[in-house]
Structure 1
């Protein structure tokens, strides 16, 4: 049987003691698993009635095990041993964690950067592409599919033999894919994207890559009754209370990999929590810790320590803060645990944990800018070396034309008690991976939480919190001109134009919400990146 544990200390433990008895009395856990849509209030009832099938996926997804095994055998027989997943948000984050934890290779293509996309279009003779989109109309995924289709045809290969589509039944993608003769796997439409780890979206690419998806379902099923129990010991009730029940609310949840076997899990949890709770001016901001576990913590934060199953854990550094929750368990069990806990947190916060109202606003702005032919945006306020500087969201730039003073001006807007810094880089998250370390540098400099997101994937994750959550963030956006642009076959735009419109659109919507945004555009990638890395890394303790 799966081992799943949640322990809390400090303010998190106080929140557990305060809220869990009421959650038990209100039969919240049992009602979640009974798919009761009334738990989050009248305004959320319609959406919740269509989004609760994830509670039964450990059993309802079982038929996929045989289907995926048969498909994988077919692909191996003809020599396809490289899996590329084209997907965004919930369609890519769970497979990335599943495959990393299982130690099996998969190429995750969740970018519209032309250099990144071009880099994935290789080894075509041995490649199968999984195209995952719940709506069937995700522009990034549609563009990636078109690029691969063209590349296969140019290489004399039949795309129908090399593309597997995962989508909701009745979506535009399903209709087109069946018409083109592709293998199509339809997912459960009553599951939202960020709760879809154990649906076809999580299981098909992972299973094709070689992960043991049956074991994943076994681990989830082994804890389902525990998580559905209206009992004080229910780990999901305890975790949900620790996340969203502290008084005053500690609305920053620092996700620390403290030895968990579930590789990359914080990035999956980040999307689940941010997109589910960050709305109506409230929410829990997940902060993925970069580097060593912090030895100190801001007063509005709780540390979530992810430890190995059955680990003899000492609770971490004594100075790490007054609110700590420690979580252990195998991956399938953890997926279900955090999903239930996030739904519980939504109830405690008084919000609908199943919609994402502010994600669409950035998409709409990007579409409008793309139609207008706008790329990097208006003329820069100034240029410093290989970096163009723009400031949005108020008249906060002093006018001194250096990168350092521009950053100083932005950080001067940072609320010392409740604020956070978000760094958003529309770059190559593999080639430019070192840039993530600026999150720790900025934390050391400011003493405030710092999140780091790779664009455009964070738009399907923390992007919701940025616009719908508390107005306490300051934002640094980093963009670059691609080395070589790439036309999207059958469309009247290039990927370079598209990612530029995504960045500009997101910055525009943030500014409309009164959020200050410092936009840094690299006119020369290497030189500009070195400048930005040096700038953001200054002042570390």
Structure 2
């Protein structure tokens, strides 16, 4: 088997207790047979049209010659730089696939003006843009497509020779792209975005960037039989039970890359698990950690550690006082195993793992702000050049940056977590991610870190639909140089500001404590933040 799993402690107890019943209920074979009744009658209408990922290898194989031919054609034309405009599963799967294969892909999953501008300025004459959107109406992707179209025209390049579209058949993007002569790859409409790694959404940008897609699909194909069989060794059943079934619940899943050859897998798994399970007041919160993370020095009772390792060994149950889950295997196989495991976890938790009921609320709020264009709410106060806003429970007792952060941390319940949401240029300022460890060390609680607006298509669902025990630190970069979006009444700067404000308002409506810090000089303001956190 090209995926190995070992479990100990509460995870092992969960596997021993739950997997025999999952086998008796024929859960594995019923998932493979596209049985939509597994998650209850309320979930059945959605599940009935979202199980195509189990057949992704067979459905996707015919795409490979088309992708290879287009890649060869582009390279013959001197085009060897692939940029991906996509969000959520449309960007995270190609990112882990290409990084693991050491193939270069520029992932543009931001509306931050400086990050968009930097991508535009990078080798435009040698660039092809892959526009990936399942619905065809994703505002970030639509905006990125528009500005690249203009840039190509301004450079004397026909956009139809450089823009490739991946979308569902019949979507608005499918129709408009074909009308103007773009190359279009249709994905399987029975696969949700976060389960789409092995469909056209994962394969087209990765293949154009030079990844060996036959090898990737072969890795997945090699695990298909093991996932379809109702057996106590089925890795999908084992992993699903281990991550969702501990008693008492361990609802924070700390995912650590610890020797695996796969690069960035935890970020992909984060969006799969958080968006699939974080709803109806329950869920599993993935927390992406490195090996030196404070959360691993003294693991809390509500945290389950998963280590992605080079070899998890041949024994499923092992003696380990830390009570961890260890997983190893090839990338293609692990993508499929974690998709099965997440579907199994949904059954254990009693939720529908295929919908995302709270994602749309933030989009609606952002659109409302873009339509109404209200004046920004005045800052509660300004300190060290940073504008401070937030919910009354946070701002009411604060007078400076240090006290505002202290009050936010005091709002974290004993079983809670902190979410840092950085609407910042992640290419120019990756150092903002270092705040995660600092806050974890200070608070003693798990801390997630997400780049905005990227995280809205990942952990954003959990933050609003999962348990109400999170507190939220928003970092919003005010860009000196904004970018217009062609044929749109708003700019990239206005769009990202509306996305941050819209999400903050929805979090506040759900009773979540929010502290929003607007930064004018990211480098200087980061130093102030580090000092204030202490």
Q: TM-score, normalised by structure 2?
A: 0.97
State the Cα distance separating 1:314 from its structure 2 match.
13
Alpha-carbon distance in structure 1 between the residues aligned to 2:334 and 2:532: 38
Q: Within 5 Å, which residues of 2 pair with 1:91-106?
A: 91-106=90-105
Counterpart of 2:6 in 1: which secondary structure?
Answer: strand
Instruction: Show the counterpart of 2:473.
Output: 476
Q: Within 5 Å, which residues of 2 pair with 1:119-158?
A: 119-122=118-121, 123-158=123-158
Aligned partner (choices 392, 395, 419) of residue 393 of structure 2: 395
CA 1:425–1:380 in 2, change beyond 3 Å: closer, same or farther? Answer: same
Q: Within 5 Å, which residues of 2 pair with 1:73-112?
A: 73-112=72-111
RMSD across aligned C-alpha pairs, in angstroms? 1.7
Instruction: Show the counterpart of 2:445.
Output: 448
State the Cα distance separating 1:59 from its structure 2 match.
1.5
Alpha-carbon distance in structure 1 between the residues aligned to 2:449 and 2:361: 21
State the Cα distance separating 1:331 from its structure 2 match.
0.4
Counterpart of 2:395 in 1: which secondary structure?
Answer: coil
Cα displacement string for residues 185-213 of structure 1 (whole angstroms, at most 9, x for unaligned residues): 00000000000000000000000000111
Aligned partner (choices 480, 483, 486) of residue 483 of structure 2: 486
Moved more, 122-131 or 93-102: 122-131
State the Cα distance separating 1:311 from its structure 2 match.
6.9
Instruction: Show the counterpart of 1:383.
Output: 382
Instruction: Show the counterpart of 1:200.
Output: 200
Q: TM-score, normalised by structure 1?
A: 0.96
State the Cα distance separating 1:105 from its structure 2 match.
0.5
Aligned partner (choices 499, 502, 507) of residue 504 of structure 2: 507
Instruction: Show the counterpart of 2:190.
Output: 190
Residues 1:70 and 2:106 aligned together: no
State the Cα distance separating 1:240 from its structure 2 match.
0.3
Q: Within 5 Å, which residues of 2 pair with 1:186-265?
A: 186-265=186-265
How many residues are matched? 531
Moved more, 394-403 or 265-274: 394-403
State the Cα distance separating 1:489 from its structure 2 match.
0.2
Cα displacement string for residues 198-230 of structure 1 (whole angstroms, at most 9, x for unaligned residues): 000000000000011111100000000001110
Aligned partner (choices 277, 301, 304) of residue 303 of structure 2: 301
Residues 1:466 and 2:468 aligned together: no
Instruction: Show the counterpart of 2:11.
Output: 12
CA contact (8 A) 1:84 1:130 kept: yes
Instruction: Show the counterpart of 2:39.
Output: 40
CA contact (8 A) 1:476 1:519 kept: yes
Instruction: Show the counterpart of 2:282.
Output: 282
Counterpart of 1:118 in 2: which secondary structure?
Answer: helix
CA contact (8 A) 2:8 2:319 kept: no
Alpha-carbon distance in structure 2 between the residues aligned to 1:318 and 1:12: 11
Alpha-carbon distance in structure 2 between the residues aligned to 1:431 and 1:535: 23
Where does the alignment leave 5 or more consecutive residues of structure 1 unmatched? none
CA contact (8 A) 1:291 1:440 kept: no
Moved more, 295-304 or 105-114: 295-304
Alpha-carbon distance in structure 1 between the residues aligned to 2:379 and 2:158: 46
Instruction: Show the counterpart of 2:412.
Output: 414
CA contact (8 A) 1:383 1:401 kept: no
Alpha-carbon distance in structure 2 between the residues aligned to 1:254 and 1:520: 27
Aligned partner (choices 509, 515, 519) of residue 516 of structure 2: 519
